[in-house]
Structure 1
């Protein structure tokens, strides 16, 4: 019980500030004897309070992003529901090969984001064009597909969100992190509601994760909002690298 609660605190903090908190909780749940599917659905429901807590902690960064959040949120809900459905329809190992590749690609995009953004900005200055405030159809489609993956497993989901938005939106990293937290909360919530109707939970694990992640979400927001963009980007890369190693060795 102490281990699961502690994992919830850690996951709530890491998810809010960076992403990939599932890589803390999922192995702990498996170590308690839960099956992979039961651990996944219990994790999804247990981390919902942490995702909501983290989003509330970043509320000051939401200014001027209402329309963007509504649009991306619709895709997150659709993708999260689709991913939750796939979890019960596909073998548990279906995404194991591609997950490290997805997270690795996201990390490359996070590292290159300042260079890519600068190149796009200079191109718009030369052509007289303007940046699309919501990234257009490519970003909406990419975030929706990332949400499908998030509803299925969620490890590295937040890193993928930040990478996609950082590449296609001309905005600060902390503001993008705030949107990421909302999308993660929506995906976790819709997946958890779907699982409530069709899957078996370990309610003790859910309760411990929920309490821990709600505390961790506030801590992650307090720390994450104070980090400079370069430091936050470095932290994302560090956590993501650990995630890739863990996923590849599992």
Structure 2
């Protein structure tokens, strides 16, 4: 890998980390950046998943205060996250490259649409607090975690958006604690998928390293920017760009 490509992936990682902080769609930038340096689609996705592990570790570490008192809940959801991440990774490795290339545009389009039409997380958290009452956590929550973790292990764009919406609507914990729980469960699913890819798939380590460096930097800068930026407008811009990317990749895949 050339120095220019290394620097490009670091910058792409920074951008992906920022986008992930704003809209939970880091793969909107990191995945096509890996394609741009010449990686095949499945290898690019595998490498992207491995690179994102460092961001998950950092997010969980920074969320320790919000995770306080949620230990038993995290344990209940761990099995769903682990099994879902493993299932998603297995599904990816069983998907032929050509088929995956044709599936990805649809996944990016669906993820972008989810961000475009989703209500603001604060509104979802307020609604969840009103509905939660004193009934405890829903029994189906581990199954919901399992289902989203499958998608997270397979591709993952906007998996965080789906997981956060599910938690804040059902748990009544508020946005910070719901986001911390999302970071823990999805980070676990992503880590399991990454381990599977390291053992059984082909990781482009020369690309994973600069991308991980950029992702870590972007994830650290992201919260500061989010506090000052108009989040709704930025989320819409990111979603529209994602739809454009889906169209571009779709034309390439089906032409």
Q: TM-score range by the shorter chain?
A: 0.7 to 0.9
Partner Cα separation in structure 2 for residue 227 and residue 60 of structure 1: 23
* Residue 43 (structure 1) aligned with residue 48 (structure 2): yes
Q: Among residues 97, 109, 119, which one is paired with 1:110 in the alignment?
A: 119
Partner Cα separation in structure 1 for residue 73 and residue 239 of structure 2: 26
Structure 1 residue runs of 4 or more that deviate by more than 6 Å after TM superposition: none
Check 1:40–1:236 CA distance in 2 against 1; reply closer, same or farther (3 A cut). same
Runs (5+) with no aligned partner, structure 1: none
Matched residue count = 240
Q: Deviations over 1:143-182 (max 9, x none)?
A: 2111111111111111111222232221222222222222
Q: Among residues 199, 202, 225, which one is paired with 1:200 in the alignment?
A: 202
Alignment correspondent of 1:142: 144
Q: Among residues 161, 164, 167, which one is paired with 1:165 in the alignment?
A: 167
Alignment correspondent of 2:3: none
**Which 10-residue stretch deviates more, 207-216 or 187-196?**
207-216
Check 1:184–1:119 CA distance in 2 against 1; reply closer, same or farther (3 A cut). closer
Give the aligned CA root-mean-square deviation in angstroms.
2.9
Partner Cα separation in structure 2 for residue 234 and residue 166 of structure 1: 22
Quote how far apart the aligned CAs of 1:107 are: 5.2
Normalising by structure 1, what TM-score? 0.81
**Which 10-residue stretch deviates more, 10-19 or 151-160?**
10-19
* Residue 130 (structure 1) aligned with residue 167 (structure 2): no
Where 1:61 maps in the other structure, the secondary structure is helix
Contact 1:12 1:54 in 2 (8 A): no
Normalising by structure 2, what TM-score? 0.80
Greater relative contact order (CA < 8 Å, ≥ 6 in sequence) = 1
Quote how far apart the aligned CAs of 1:131 are: 4.2
